[in-house]
Amino acid sequence: MKIRPLYDRVVVERLTSEQKSAGGIIIPDTAQEKPQEGRIVAAGPGKRSEKGELCALDVKEGDRILFGKYSGSEIKLDDKEYVILREDEILGILS
């Protein structure tokens, strides 16, 4: 199944976090926080300005991004979990 987000929204797949701490302690799944880092899977065309012009997004498919802990809406497609975010909820692009 494919999804195409509307306006300035992006679909993000969370990147998995490390299973061990820096000291070598294995962290169980129940104690792990959801990662705030992800990869953009799909991006909308952009937002319309007051004049009706299309303003393109600053991010594109494949970009690694950081986003807020409680931002976006979580969805599940084909047994995979994704987050749908607005462009203004993205904190930064990782290079």
Per-position pLDDT tens, the chain of length 95 = 588 888 889 999 988 765 655 666 666 656 556 668 899 999 998 888 888 888 888 888 899 999 888 888 898 888 888 999 998 889 888 88
At residue 27, the pLDDT reads 64
pLDDT at 83: 92
pTM of the model: 0.76
CATH fold for the domain made of 9-17+28-94? 10 Kd Chaperonin, Protein Cpn10; Chain O (2.30.33)
CA dihedral over 47, 53, 59, 60, signed as positive or negative: positive
Residue whose tokens read 């969370």 = 14
- The count of other CB atoms within 10 Å of the CB of residue 46 is 15
